[in-house]
């Protein structure tokens, strides 16, 4: 059905009532995007001067950030994105990037080859150096404990990521030599980064040599997580150096969680992603890139949880250097029988509802450890309407919640999207006392309009997902209105039951029916239930009508002198139920008493 006010979307545009979505108006103060670094025109490269020992890598990171705050503990994806677009950077940023890409220079460099010979851990105990590690040596092996912990964490990461899951091991800059790991002071909140030193020109893959830099003040689980995360980045560089930050950081986070079994270090980033679902999955926000752990978890959990789907996408991109990621991702999903990118994104927006306390064990494998989704807006009274025009970015989704209030009748939701657009609208409806929600697709016509009616009295909540599966382009705009209709989906004018020779006869009459498909009859021995359905096939309804419609049903299984309690249940065309009040009758000639 159309809106009561035709052309409402166009009228709002003309009037200028366009407001930014709630999840883009908040939560950006501690974020950083890659494009923030492209605000200055490119200038000729400065002559490079080697790093001074007294400065340390923390100073180089400070120079790169130029007063900004790194909002996530890993700088790898940021460095690689800037490296790929270095011609667009200011000369001071390029200079800092160049310094960060080189192996650190440590005072009194200590070298610790790991027992398996695959890595060399570089550190310093010089008390005058800003990079000095704590010298505690509890096992008296002559090596600081943190170095021993790094070796153990490297072995754990390699055993999980490379040996069990089949991802490549990191490659050192000199073939056959151990991979270099450096312990330095990176500054508050920075756990590590893995810079690319140079591309490997001897293979057809888009791979590269790298080294790992870790903060020297890490310890315990934080150190184990940081090592696993940087090992993941080094492994991914063996496949491709051209992956965008949102994809590389999300994959590294997923691989880290496979090592540690704990997504909690990224809880804040995932929470921000769940707050800003309408921002594109391919956003260059560093916080959202890390929060896309939710997306890589979906891809992995849909395929037995081992991440083979992720690995196939990375393998394909390594052999097809320079091709855009999203079309390639769609192609791999189709070829592996996992549907399309649009279908995976549809699942992602639906699964996102089942995190934190809402985890039902049927979606994300670690869903209970993720934070809960925060809806863009929560409507608690009706009528309700969007605040002007809402927007959603390509590969983004707006989530709107309508809270049940126990009122009889139905909630009618009318939607209008900008034309032309690819907007898709779902409703996830949860009834009171039920744990399994009902999923409804709202079909939009060629004008971008649609309407859904929801029997409302027993609904706890209805969540509307407005999804935009386009791969690129500008944001799509939409508007919605939600109103209560006390006579939806039916107006029951009478309902009675009489004892009859064949058992008990039920009679009911409706004065109006909307969107009805049929009726079911329920019976119980007690007024409070439980009620059991009697009819094997639904009683056909009068569909959409404002005329009186009479119904008759004979309960032939009723036993004489036994009192029963009845309800009739209407089923809408969307499969949503709405029950009547309860009445009773005795199979002995008594007339029913509502």
- Render 257-326 in DSSP notation, one character per residue: HHHHS--GGGHHHHHHHHH-TTS-TT--BHHHHHHTHHHHHHHHHTTTTS-HHHHHHHHHHHHSTTS-HH
Rg, the chain, Cα only: 31
pLDDT beneath 50, residues of the chain = 1-6, 8, 10-27, 41-54, 200-205, 590-594
Q: Dihedral through CA 379, CA 418, CA 350, CA 482, nearest 10?
A: 30
Reported residue count of the chain is: 594
C-alpha to C-alpha distance for 72 and 32, rounded to whole angstroms: 9
Q: What is the pLDDT of residue 7?
A: 52
Cα–Cα–Cα angle for 462, 366, 343, rounded to 5 degrees: 55
Q: What is the pLDDT of residue 151?
A: 97
- The neighbour count for residue 588, using CB atoms within 10 Å, is 13
Q: What is the pLDDT of residue 416?
A: 96
Residues linked to residue 112 through DSSP beta bridges, in sequence order: 121
Which residues, 6+ apart, have CB-to-CB distance to 392 below 8 Å?
A: 21, 278, 398, 423, 466, 467, 468, 475, 476, 478
Domains and CATH numbers, the chain: 100-369 (1.10.390), 377-485 (2.60.120.380), 490-586 (2.60.40.10)
- Which residue carries 């503990």 as its tokens? 73
Q: What is the pLDDT of residue 2?
A: 35
Does the pTM surpass 0.85? The reply is yes
* Cis before 525? omega within 30: no
């Amino acid at each position: 059905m159309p809106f009561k006010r035709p052309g409402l979307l166009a009228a709002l545009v003309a009037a200028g009532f366009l407001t930014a979505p709630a999840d883009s108006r908040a939560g950006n103060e501690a974020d950083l995007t890659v494009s923030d670094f492209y605000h200055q025109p490119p200038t000729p490269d400065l002559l490079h001067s080697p790093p001074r020992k007294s400065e340390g890598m923390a100073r180089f990171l400070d120079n790169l950030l130029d007063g900004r705050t790194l909002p996530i503990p890993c700088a790898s994806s940021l460095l690689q994105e800037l490296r790929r677009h270095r011609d667009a950077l200011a000369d001071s940023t390029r200079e800092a990037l160049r310094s960060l890409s080189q192996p650190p220079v440590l005072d009194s460099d200590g070298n610790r080859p790991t027992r398996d010979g695959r890595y060399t851990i570089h550190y310093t105990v010089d008390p005058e150096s800003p990079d000095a590690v704590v010298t505690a040596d509890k096992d008296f092996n002559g090596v600081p404990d943190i170095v021993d912990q790094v070796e153990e964490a490297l072995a754990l990461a390699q055993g999980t990521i490379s040996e069990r899951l089949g991802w490549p091991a990191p490659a050192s800059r000199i073939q056959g030599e151990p991979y270099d790991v450096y312990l330095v002071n990176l500054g508050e909140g920075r756990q590590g980064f893995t810079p690319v030193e140079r591309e490997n020109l001897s293979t057809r893959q888009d791979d590269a040599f790298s080294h790992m830099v870790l903060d020297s003040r890490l310890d315990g689980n934080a150190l184990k997580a940081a090592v696993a995360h940087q090992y993941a980045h080094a492994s991914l560089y063996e496949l491709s150096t051209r992956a965008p930050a949102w994809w590389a950081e999300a994959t590294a986070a997923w691989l880290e969680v496979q090592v540690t079994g704990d997504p909690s270090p990224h809880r804040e980033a995932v929470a921000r992603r769940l707050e800003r679902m309408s921002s594109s999955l391919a956003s260059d926000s560093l916080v959202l890139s890390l929060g896309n752990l939710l997306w890589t978890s979906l891809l992995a959990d849909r395929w037995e949880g081992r991440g083979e789907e992720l690995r196939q996408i990375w393998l394909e991109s390594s052999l097809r250097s320079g091709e855009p990621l999203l079309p390639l991702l769609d192609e791999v999903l189709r070829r592996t029988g996992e549907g399309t990118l649009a279908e995976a994104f549809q699942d992602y927006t639906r699964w996102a509802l089942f995190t934190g306390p809402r985890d039902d064990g049927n979606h994300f494998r670690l869903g209970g450890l993720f934070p809960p989704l925060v809806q863009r807006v929560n409507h608690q009274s009706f009528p309700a309407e969007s605040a002007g025009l809402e927007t959603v970015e390509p590969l983004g989704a707006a989530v709107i919640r309508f809270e049940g209030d126990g009122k009889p009748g139905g909630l009618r939701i009318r939607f209008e999207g900008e034309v032309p657009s690819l907007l898709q609208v779902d409703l996830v409806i949860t009834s009171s006392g039920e744990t399994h929600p009902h999923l409804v697709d709202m079909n939009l016509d060629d004008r971008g309009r649609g309407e859904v009616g929801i029997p409302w009295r027993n609904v706890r909540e209805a969540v509307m997902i407005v999804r935009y599966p386009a791969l690129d382009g500008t944001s799509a705009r939409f508007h919605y209105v939600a109103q209560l209709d006390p006579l939806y989906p039916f107006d029951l004018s009478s309902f009675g039951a009489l004892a009859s020779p064949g058992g008990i006869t039920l009679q009911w009459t409706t004065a109006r029916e909307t969107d009805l498909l049929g009726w079911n009859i329920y019976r119980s021995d007690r007024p409070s239930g439980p009620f059991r359905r009697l009819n094997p096939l639904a009683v056909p309804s009068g569909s959409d009508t404002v005329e009186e419609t009479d119904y008759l049903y004979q309960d032939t299984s009723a036993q004489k002198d036994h009192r029963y309690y009845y309800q009739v249940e209407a089923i809408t065309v969307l499969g949503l139920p709405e029950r009547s009040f309860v009445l009773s009758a005795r199979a002995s000639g008594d007339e029913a008493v509502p």
